[in-house]
Structure 1
Amino acid sequence: MAKPQKRYVCQACGSVSHRWAGQCADCSEWNTLVEEASAVVTPFQAKHDLRTGGRSFELVGLDADIVLPERMATGIAELDRALGGGFVEGSATLIGGDPGIGKSTLLLQAAAKLALAGKSVAYVSGEEATDQVRLRARRLGIGHAPVQLAAATSTRDILTTLSMGPPPALLVIDSIQTMHSDLIEGAPGTVSQVRASSQELIRFAKERGTALVLVGHVTKDGSIAGPRVLEHMVDTVLAFEGERSHQYRILRAIKNRFGGTDEIGVFAMQSEGLAEVSNPSALFLTQRDEGVTGTTVFPALEGTRPVLVEIQALVVRLASGATPRRAVVGWDSGRLAMILAVLEARCGLSFSNAEVYLNIAGGYRVQDPAADMAVAAALVSALSERPVAIDAVAFGEVALSGEIRPVAHGALRLKEAGKLGFERALVPAAVAKEESTLRMTGFRTLGEFVDHMLGR
C-alpha cells in the first residue's frame, strides 16, 4: 500500500512545502509551517485519466436570463451599506477585526434585528457559553429577540442540528478558528481545520440558501488569520477597524462579489452597543472658531461615500547636527517622504533640519492619493505658521515633477464640503473649471500653491 505523503502548509500565506523549514520561502514568516497529511496517492490514481467517467454538465451563455439575488436588509444602515444592501441568500461573509473591537456585538445586534423582523436566525458561539451571549444581549437591550443560540465547536454537530429542520435565514459562526472537523486530524485553528470547517459550512449555506457569517481572528499585523484561501472561498470580506481607545469603528468592505468594494460603515461604541453614525464627517473634524496652523480639511472618498477628515501637521526646528524624526499616524510614511522631497526640490522649502509629525484626526486611516495636496498645505502651514482658512478644503494628487493632478469624483467631494458649511476649495486647475457652490482656486503646480499660501 502506498504511504501517505507529508506536506507542510504555511499558516500565514497557505503555501505548501514538502519539507519542513523554520522560515516560509514565500512570505518569509518564521515558525508558520505546520505538518498536514495529504491524501494517499496510488499508481492507479496517478495514471487514471480524468477525461472520462465523470458527469457531464450544461454550459450556458452570458446572455442567459438570470434572477438577481434577494438581499436581507439587517436594519442597520451602516452594515447594509458595507455589504452593498444587506446579506444575500446563500452567501458567505467573513468579518475580521482586533479582539474587543465589537465584531460579536455588531453581529448580535444584526441577528436580533433580523429575528425581530420575522427571519429565522441561528447564532453559534465557539468562544462563549450561551449564558454569556444572553447577558450581552440583555445589556444591549435585545434580550427579547427570538435568536436561536448554541455553544458548539464541532462542525459535524452544527450541520447535523441545522439539517434536522428548516434552514435558518442567517447563520453566524463566532469564530471559525474555534471550529473543528473530525474528517481530518489537527487542532482547531490550524490551516487544515479552518479550511475544512469553512468548506463544509459554505457548502451547507450554498445548498440550503442560508446567509453564512464567519467571524475570523486577525494576526498582529491586522490581516485575517488562517489560510489565505479562506478569503477566496467566501463571497464578502469585511474588516472592522479602529482603536479600542477611540469611540469610533469603521467597517470596511475589502471584497464583495455582490456589490462594490471600499464601501465603509461608521459606528460609535456606546454603553448600549454600536450606534450608527450617519454623518461621519462631523466626527473627524475639530470644531474651532479660528484658524490653527498646521491643519487642513481633506474630503476623502471611501467607495461612493465622501468623508471629510482633518489633517494635522507639526514641524519642529532642531539644532544643527541632530537627526530629524518623521512620525506619521493614519497615512503612508513613504508618501510623506515623497511630499517633503517635492516641497524641497520644487518649492524651495527646507525640512532637512526639522522634525515632522503628521496625524489624521479621529483615528481615521487615509489611503486616497488625493490627500497629497491637503498634506502639503498642512506642512507649509506648520512650517510658515500661517493658518489655512477654516472655511477651505484642499485635495489633489502631487506628482514628482511638482504638477498637481486632478482626482476622481471631484464634484462629489465639493458637494459634501458644501453641505458641511465650507465655502472655499483649493483644488487642481482642471477641477476648478467644474461648477460648484464653493469658491474654487485652481493650481497647476505645487509651486503655485505654495506661493499662494505664503503670499508671494
Structure 2
Amino acid sequence: MKKDKTKFICQQCGFESTKWMGKCPNCDEWNSFVEEVVEDSDKKSQEGILTSKVELLKDIEAKDEDRIKTGIGEFDRVLGGGVVKGSLVLIGGEPGIGKSTMLLQISDVMSNFTKVLYISGEESSSQIKMRADRIIKGKQEVYFLAETNINNVERHVEKISPGFIIVDSIQTMYADESTTIPGSVSQVRQVTQHLLRLSKQNGITVFIIGHVTKEGSIAGPRVLEHMVDTVLYFEGDRTQSFRILRAYKNRFGSTNEIGVFEMESEGLKEVKNPSEVLLSGRDLNAPGLAVISSMEGTRPILLEVQSLICHTNFGLPRRMSTGIDYNKFVLLLAVLEKKCGINFSQSDVYLNIAGGLKVQEPAADLGIVAALISGYLNIPISNDICFSGEVGLIGEVRPVSNLERRISEAKKMGFKTIVVPQMKVENNYDMNIKKIKNIVELTDVIAK
C-alpha cells in the first residue's frame, strides 16, 4: 500500500516545510506548524480542446465594472461606488463588531436586484431569523443555508442560481478534497478557490466573513487576502457605538476611503457627518486638547486629540498612545524636547484620539504637538482653532496635501482660525489662516 506523503504547514502564514519546526522562519510564530497530508499529484495530464486563448492586450475590449448600490452610502464609498458584479470580497473584524449585521442589512437591499443566498456555518436558521426580524423591515426575500461543506454549497448554488452570496464564515467551511480540519491553511485555500471559481465563472458577487487573530489580522494564510478582489476591515471598540469600515485592498477603487457607522438596536446606521459626531461633547476649556483637520481618502474629517501629562513617581516615565502610532508619538516628544526645551523626562505622557479612530497621515503631527504643549503648559487652546501640518525632525512644519478641503471642513464646523504650514493657499473661506514655519511658534498661538 502506498504511503501518504505529509508536509508541515504554518497555520499563520502558510509556509511549508518537510519537517516540523518550533518557530516559523517566515512569520516568526512559535508552535504554528501542523502536519497535513499532501494530495497525490501523480496524475496524467488531461488532453483535450483548450477553452482559453491568448490575446493581444490592444485587442481586448475594456468594460466598466457593473456596480450595484447597496443603499448604504458609507459602504458604497469604501467599495468605490457600489458592489461590483462578480467580485470576491473579504470582510474581517473582531467578534461582535457588526460584520454579520452589516451584511444582513446589505443582503436585504441586494434582494431587490438579484437572488441572495446567505450561508452560515456558525448560526442556525432561527438565530439568523431573530436578527433579521430586528434589523430588516422589508420582505426578507433572502435565501438561507446552514452548511459547512463547500461542495454541498456548490450544488445548492446550481439549483437556485443566486447573484449575491454571503459566507459566514470562511473558517467554518471545509472541502472534501482536503483531509484537514476546517480553518486550517489547506481548507481555507481550497474553500476560497471554490468560491473564486463560483464568482468568476458565473458572475456571482461573493462576500466572505473572516475572523481575526489577537494581533488584528484575518485568521488563516495570507494567500486568502491575495486571492480576493477586496479586503475590508471593521475597526472599533465593541464597548463604543462607532464603527469604522476601512479598505486595505481594492481592485475596483481606492484604499484610502473609510465609512463611519454607529451601532444601534436596529443595526448599523451610517454617519454622514463624522466631524460633527466626533467633536460633539468635547470640553471647550480643558488644557491638552486640540482639533486636527485630517483627510481620509477624499473626505476631510475633524478629530480631537487629547493629551494628559502628569508627574511620575518612578524612574522610568510611561508613554501610552491610542489611535496614533506609538513610534510617531515618541518621535514627536523627542522633537519637542530638543527644539522647544520641554522636558518630559519627569512626566508620564498619554495621548488619545477621541471617538476610536486611528490617525496615520503626517498632517496630524501639528495638532498632536499643539495638544502636548497645551497639556504641558496647562493652558487650554481656544475652541475656534484647529491644526493641520506635518512636523519634521528639526521642528519645521512641512506642507500637506488637500489643504483647501481641510480649511473648508474647518469653516463648515464653525472654526475661525486654522494653523497651517507656510504654503500657497487662497483665503476664500473668511477664516484666519495662521501660517507657521516651526513648532516654536506654536507657543505664541496657544498662549493667545
TM-score range, shorter chain: over 0.9
Residues 241 and 257 (structure 1 numbering): CA distance in 2 closer, same or farther, change over 3 Å?
same
1:188, 1:230 → 2: CA distance? 14
For 2:229, the aligned partner's letter is D
1:62-141 mapped onto 2 (5 Å cutoff): 62=58, 64-115=60-111, 117-141=112-136
Preserved CA contact (<8 Å) 2:420 2:434: yes
Preserved CA contact (<8 Å) 2:90 2:232: yes
Preserved CA contact (<8 Å) 1:393 1:426: yes
1:31, 1:423 → 2: CA distance? 57
What is aligned with 1:427?
420
- Asked if 1:160 corresponds to 2:147, the answer is no
1:288, 1:36 → 2: CA distance? 55
What is aligned with 1:372?
365
1:446, 1:290 → 2: CA distance? 23
Preserved CA contact (<8 Å) 1:94 1:231: yes
What is aligned with 2:331?
338
What is aligned with 1:309?
303
1:236-247 mapped onto 2 (5 Å cutoff): 236-247=230-241
Preserved CA contact (<8 Å) 1:134 1:143: no
* Unpaired runs of at least 5, structure 1: none
Further displaced range: 438-447 or 248-257? 438-447
1:198 to 192, 202, 205: 192
1:83-120 alpha-carbon deviations (Å, 9 max, x no partner): 111111110000000001110000000001121x2421
CA shift, 1:144, in A, is: 2.6
For 2:74, the aligned partner's letter is E
What is aligned with 1:188?
182
1:253-264 mapped onto 2 (5 Å cutoff): 253-264=247-258
1:170, 1:390 → 2: CA distance? 48
For 1:136, the aligned partner's letter is R
* Equivalent position SS for 1:266: strand
Further displaced range: 136-145 or 410-419? 136-145
What is aligned with 1:142?
137
Preserved CA contact (<8 Å) 2:169 2:209: yes
CA shift, 1:369, in A, is: 1.4
1:32, 1:290 → 2: CA distance? 51
Preserved CA contact (<8 Å) 1:263 1:304: yes
* Unpaired runs of at least 5, structure 2: none
1:371-429 alpha-carbon deviations (Å, 9 max, x no partner): 11100000000111121111111011111111111112111111111111111101111
Residues 85 and 55 (structure 1 numbering): CA distance in 2 closer, same or farther, change over 3 Å?
closer
- Asked if 1:359 corresponds to 2:352, the answer is yes
Preserved CA contact (<8 Å) 1:93 1:236: yes
What is aligned with 1:348?
341
Residues 174 and 348 (structure 1 numbering): CA distance in 2 closer, same or farther, change over 3 Å?
same
How many pairs does the alignment contain?
447
What is aligned with 1:414?
407
Residues 452 and 393 (structure 1 numbering): CA distance in 2 closer, same or farther, change over 3 Å?
closer
Further displaced range: 359-368 or 91-100? 359-368
* Equivalent position SS for 2:304: strand
For 1:382, the aligned partner's letter is G
1:256-276 alpha-carbon deviations (Å, 9 max, x no partner): 001111211111111111111
* Equivalent position SS for 2:9: strand
Further displaced range: 142-151 or 73-82? 142-151
1:304, 1:377 → 2: CA distance? 25
CA shift, 1:432, in A, is: 5.3
Preserved CA contact (<8 Å) 1:394 1:426: yes
TM-score, scaled relative to structure 2: 0.94
* Equivalent position SS for 2:244: strand
What is aligned with 1:216?
210
Preserved CA contact (<8 Å) 2:108 2:136: no
1:331, 1:408 → 2: CA distance? 20
What is aligned with 1:58?
54
For 1:140, the aligned partner's letter is I
1:175, 1:65 → 2: CA distance? 36
For 2:235, the aligned partner's letter is E
What is aligned with 2:29?
29
1:98, 1:36 → 2: CA distance? 28
Identity of aligned residues (%): 45
For 2:239, the aligned partner's letter is S
2:28, 2:357 → 1: CA distance? 30
2:6, 2:444 → 1: CA distance? 67
For 1:309, the aligned partner's letter is L
- Computed over aligned residues only, the root mean square deviation of the Cα atoms, in angstroms, reads 2.2
1:279-310 alpha-carbon deviations (Å, 9 max, x no partner): 11122114357432110011221111111110
Residues 212 and 289 (structure 1 numbering): CA distance in 2 closer, same or farther, change over 3 Å?
closer
* Equivalent position SS for 1:58: coil
2:275, 2:406 → 1: CA distance? 12
For 2:248, the aligned partner's letter is I
1:282 to 272, 276, 281: 276
For 2:301, the aligned partner's letter is V
Further displaced range: 260-269 or 53-62? 53-62
For 1:225, the aligned partner's letter is A
CA shift, 1:63, in A, is: 6.9
1:430-453 alpha-carbon deviations (Å, 9 max, x no partner): 155665432111111112223443
1:217, 1:289 → 2: CA distance? 37
1:185-243 alpha-carbon deviations (Å, 9 max, x no partner): 11111110011011111101111111000000000111000110000000000001111
Preserved CA contact (<8 Å) 2:382 2:446: no
Preserved CA contact (<8 Å) 2:427 2:433: no
TM-score, scaled relative to structure 1: 0.93
For 2:103, the aligned partner's letter is L
